Structures are given as C-alpha cells and as structure tokens.
Structure 1
Amino acid sequence: MPNRPEIVCICGSTRFADEMRTANRDLAFAGIIVVAPGEANEPITEVQKAALGALHLRKIDLADRVLVVNPGGYIGESTHREIDYARATGKPVSFTDPASAAT
C-alpha cells in the first residue's frame, strides 16, 4: 500500500463548531487528512440530521483514528454513539478534554 498521511475523523457537538474548525486546521497543518462533521448555517430537519449522522459513521470507517472535540468534557448523545461505533470497529479514540477518556 502506498504511504499516505494519517486520516483523523473529528467528532463532537455542533455547539463546538469553532473548536472543531481549530482542531481541523491544526491537524491539517500537521500533515493529517481530516474528515469532519458537515456544517449547516441554518436549522436542519430530523431527516437531514439522521442522514448526516449515518454519513458521519462512514467517515469514521475511512479514518485511522477519531478525535473527539469535547471542551469541558461535554459529550452529547450523537457523539456517544459515534464513540461507541468507533470503538466497536477498532478505531482509537482520543479527546481534546482527556478527562472524558473514560466515557
């Protein structure tokens, strides 16, 4: 297999969009390929939310590891599901707030 940069999938609550953009930028400058949640500047429907959630699991499939952006230790329901999925598929999971690593 050809040598390629590491791929990291960012997970976290959309309330931390600024922090996720910062993590994305920092990882990219470190030479890492980043896949992150889609962003919407307007409210989305439940159908759209479900579709984006399913798509994000496929992004986890593509990644070598997952970085959870969780300032203050906050992890919502969707992010918990993504962490559980990542761990079930053998992906390493790390946190920007390491106190949450036990979740």
Structure 2
Amino acid sequence: MRQHTSDDTTDPVGSRPPIVVLCGSTRYWEQIAEAALYETAAGRIVLAPGCNLKQPHPLWAQPAQAERLKQLLDGLHLWKIDLADDVLVVNPHGYIGESTSREIAYARSLGKPIRYTHPA
C-alpha cells in the first residue's frame, strides 16, 4: 500500500482525490475506457466495470458460469457505488439500459451526485 507523506507533491493538501464510479453498458466498453482515461487525467480515482461479458473469455464461456459472474459483478458494482464520491454514467446516444438504470437508482438513494457523458 502506498504510504502518504506530507511532502508528497501529487497531493499537497493531504486529502485523497475524489473517487468516481463509471456506470454504463459494456456494449460501450471503448467509451467506458475513454471516460476512465479522462477521469484519471483529471486526478480522480476511477472505479469501473471489471469485465466485459459481451467478449468471449474462458471465465464465462458456459452459460451457468456467465450467470454466476453477472450476479457477482452486479453486487460488486453496487459496492463501488458505495465507495464513490460521485457517479459518471457513460451513455453514448443517451442509452441507459436496465442494469445502469438500477445503478442510477441505487446511487440516487444514497444521495450520490450523478453526471452523464451525454444528455439523458
């Protein structure tokens, strides 16, 4: 774990950078990665989806594996929302799917500020 010191030039005031969680459909995986890049360059800690189940991979090759992993990932993403200071919804063309809608509702229930990459 990184040790923080008072002479750390990347964080002169001694407070942690804001944490943002990215929400959005993995069908827009490239846009999620781009948003992560911009948020990181802005000095934020980025929490994002960790897997793209729409791309083939041995971890979710079987339907039962994929369903179990989807349930796990959905729960983990809610924990990421809990940890975040705010939410950035990656929604090209205004698209917000069922899972993302659920995540937005959860973030709102916690009073988290929500931003969108495109008008909702």
Common fold: TM-score over 0.5: yes
Partners of 1:64 and 1:14 in 2: how far apart?
A: 22
Aligned residue for 2:40? 28
Aligned residues: 98
Aligned residue for 1:83? 104
Q: Which one-letter code corresponds to 2:72 in the other structure?
A: A
In the TM superposition, structure 1's runs of 4+ consecutive aligned residues that sit over 3 Å from their partners are none
Q: Does 1:55 align with 2:41?
A: no
Work out which of the residue numbers 27, 33, 45 in structure 2 matches 1:15: 27
Q: Which one-letter code corresponds to 1:35 in the other structure?
A: L
Partners of 1:95 and 1:46 in 2: how far apart?
A: 28
Q: Which runs of 5+ in 1 are unaligned?
A: none
Q: Which has the higher strand share?
A: 1
Partners of 1:55 and 1:31 in 2: how far apart?
A: 23
- Higher Cα Rg: structure 1 or 2? 2
Indicate the structure whose relative CO is greater, using CA pairs within 8 Å and at least 6 residues apart.
Answer: 1
Partners of 1:84 and 1:42 in 2: how far apart?
A: 30
Q: Secondary structure at the match of 2:112?
A: coil
Q: Does 1:42 align with 2:63?
A: no
Work out which of the residue numbers 113, 116, 119 in structure 2 matches 1:92: 113
Q: Which one-letter code corresponds to 2:51 in the other structure?
A: E
When normalised by structure 1's length, the TM-score is 0.90
- What percentage of aligned pairs have identical amino acids? 54
Q: Which runs of 5+ in 2 are unaligned?
A: 1-13, 61-65
Partners of 1:64 and 1:36 in 2: how far apart?
A: 13
When normalised by structure 2's length, the TM-score is 0.78
Q: Which one-letter code corresponds to 1:42 in the other structure?
A: P
Deviates more, 1:21-30 or 1:39-48: 39-48
